[in-house]
Amino acid sequence: MIDLKSLTIEKVHESLSKGEYSVTDLVTEYLKVIEEKNKNTNAYLEVYDDVFTQAKHAEEMFKNGTATLMTGIPVALKDNMLFDGHIASASSKILEKYVATYDSGVVKYLKKQGVVFIGRTNMDEFAMGSSTENSAYGVTLNPINPDYVPGGSSGGSAASVAMDGALVSLGSDTGGSIRQPAAFTGLVGLKPTYGAVSRFGIIAMASSLDQVGTLSKNVSDTQILFEAMNDYDSMDSTSVKKENRTSPTPLKKKIGIPQSFLAGGGINEEVLANFNASCEKLKNAGYELVDISLPLIKYSLAVYYIIMPAEVSSNLARLDGIRYGLSVEADKLFDVYAKSRGQGFGKEVRRRILLGTYILSHGYYDAYYNNAVKVRNAIKAELVSAFLSVDAIITPSSPFPPFKFGEKTNDPIAMYMSDLFTVPANIAGIPAISIPSGTTNDGLPLGLHIMAPYFREDILFTIGKDFEKLI
């Protein structure tokens, strides 16, 4: 019997290297948990049928001396990541039976290192949502408390790790879709710098905002998994070569807090109290906390909800019922388009497509989209300037704790507020992480959100590890 709750990547590697148990033994234990718990959480949409074949390959790597830290590590994949020969549906009816014909960049890198992909996890359809209530295949429950959402859109990836159904998992983050579910399930969630990790083979939502990241139980595992994927990919035109990235510099041990942004209202009292307590802990760890002025950051959410739906409208235009995916027969070509998209897309996806099409329409493109791009560039410049005087910027991960199912589904604006603190990192393309920071009086998890300069994930890991020691 393997104690899955206490495992880390380094512990697993050591045990596998010593022969204390095999990769097949490890995978079997995780599959037992999935068998027991998934029917109640719906974290996984599918457990892959070649899991044990993957495990045998990993065992061969240990035998022939080619094993890495990631070899044999059970990893859950979000349902928008292509894995050759396996279904990737983005939790949508329109791609229900789509089988990938090639590996995404992250799968390719991790496959070379011998990881074991356990299965694909549930998500908000096409990553549009903050609660995993928008999946075409049912909601995912929060393993911490099943009455509450696990966050989204990577709710299934978060739940798979939180319920011990995978050691680590991969998610995608367009406006907070890794960090918010991490905060809601007591995990560490990383959104790397835009361009640090390949986006090739990821079913796109908003291409200038999407980024692949990680969910794990501690910062060390987060760092190991990130470094296993942190490479240039010639198949991704937005991937940045390592020689063109920011070089690490010594830490000032100074952290910025945008107090005026936090004073804007809408933050739950327990969340604010927890954040203030987290700040005191960082002070005790030797960090200097200073107030910084970020007058433009409050516009990030508005900018996001112009740029994101515009890109959604463009990216999902390819799903027309003709080339691939769901196709509903009709007498006229237009009716094939209308019926395939009408039946294939869920309500939230249709809402964002309509909004994005309106934003990009004649007469509104300049008024909305172009102005949003200008403000986005100004927010980027503001953050770059702020990082000249501080190592990192901290806020709560979410303005409120996990919420109950149905609580925000009838009020899209209230749901969109989930991304208040996480969106600026996507707007600017900088790295950010959510670290568990305690719980509410009801035992619901809360998170501390940390942003760092471009390609300075090392700062996030350093501060994160220091903070973990204080919890």
Catalytic sites, residue numbers: 78, 153, 177
Give the helix/strand (H/E) hosting 394: strand 392-396
CA–CA dist 464, 391 (Å, integer): 13
CA–CA dist 82, 203 (Å, integer): 8
C-beta of residue 325 within 8 angstroms of C-beta of residue 362: no
CA–CA dist 214, 419 (Å, integer): 18
CA–CA dist 366, 359 (Å, integer): 9
Interior/surface letters 358-367, b for 16+ CB within 10 angstroms, e for the rest: ebbeeeeeee
| Closest C-alpha among 15, 48, 17, 18 to residue 30 | 48
C-beta of residue 189 within 8 angstroms of C-beta of residue 206: no
- Which amino acid is it at 60? E
Cα-based torsion angle of the residue sequence 406, 410, 416, 421 in order, rounded to the nearest 10 degrees: -40
CA–CA dist 365, 351 (Å, integer): 18
CA–CA dist 446, 419 (Å, integer): 14
Residue 288, SS3? Answer: strand
List, as one string, the DSSP characters of 241-256: -GGGSPPP-----EEE
CB count in 10 Å sphere of residue 75: 25
Cα-based torsion angle of the residue sequence 35, 128, 196, 157 in order, rounded to the nearest 10 degrees: -10
| Closest C-alpha among 82, 239, 97, 259 to residue 172 | 82
